[in-house]
Amino acid sequence: MRLWVPEGTKAKYLEGLPEEVEVGYFPKEGPFPDEIETVEFLVPPFGQRDRVQEALARMPRLRVVQTLSAGVDWILPLVPPGVTLADARGVHDTPVAEWVVGAILAMYKRFPEFRDFQRRSRWEPLKLADLEGQVVLILGYGSIGEAVEARLKPFGVRVLRVARRPRPGVHPPEMLAALLPEADVVVLLLPLTRETEGMVDARFLARMKPGALLVNAARGRVVRTPALLEALEAGRIRAVLDVTDPEPLPEDHPLWRAPGVYITPHVAGSSPRFLARAYALVREQVCRYLEGRPLRNVVREGY
């Protein structure tokens, strides 16, 4: 069985693969080698959509595409019929959850403002807020949401959970309008789908509690940027964004200078342990495939 991984993948991450696996490398540029036609299992490189699309059209034996990203919106339309797509659910839980908690604390303790004061050599005390007793709504409650809640629990917050698949303790999307006015913090962890694109619009933002904090660690296009700008400029809400629409955010975009917003450049999932966790999943998935067992994280209905 031929497995292709992105060019540059270190050998240490591929240790422990079954002997019958032949590893090849998805080239960053140039012509594809003839062996592309024998690839059964592909780990595609992120950020090379056009090249991945070209490669997929030349892989008649392809059976599995395993992404290293939790979101699959970038590749889902490209996967041929009959090919199983699996995402990296679980791989990004720790770094994204830590980023979310850090983002919330930074805003509650006003670290961005103090950093600005420091750059101007200003000693200016500000009133700070307690996280204890606050209500945090997690929209898109999956494995990352669970990790966020586990890290928020010691701070004494109350968590409201919303997900597409309701279950005990997790509300359906239909409850969102009623829950938004209760939340002091709204955390977005949604995948980008036809249903979620633009979900956070003017009506959504108007239902949020005045002064509430919006934290987006999902996808930029989940939020309507003009509506967000209007809410920020009116001082109705605050926001921390790891993702934006457009992305990267152009230098002259008004979102950079909007009041009450803190922006990081899509780094929430960044971690020195990312590749080790990701390729542990790849090894498990390859073994499952060869043994005929069900794969983990199979994408259905868009995610």
Active site members: 219, 247, 266
Strand order in the sheet with 213-216: 158-162, 135-139, 185-188, 213-216, 238-241, 261-263
Question: For residue 126, which amino acid is it?
Answer: L
Strands 135-139 and 185-188, by their bridges, are: parallel
Q: Put residue 110 in one of left, alpha, beta given phi > 0 → left and psi -120 to 50 → alpha.
A: left
Is residue 195 within 8 Å of 201, Cβ to Cβ? Answer: no
Q: What one-character DSSP code corresponds to residue 193?
A: -
Residue 130, Cβ density class (10 Å: 0-12 exposed, 13-18 middle, ≥19 buried): exposed
Token output for 295: 């794969």
Residue closest to 115 by CA, chosen among 262, 248, 267: 262
As a whole number of angstroms, the distance between CA 303 and CA 297 comes to 9
Cis preceding-peptide flag for 166 (omega within 30 of 0): no
As a whole number of angstroms, the distance between CA 26 and CA 21 comes to 15
- The alpha carbon dihedral of 297, 199, 249, 267 has a sign of negative
Strands 135-139 and 261-263, by their bridges, are: unpaired
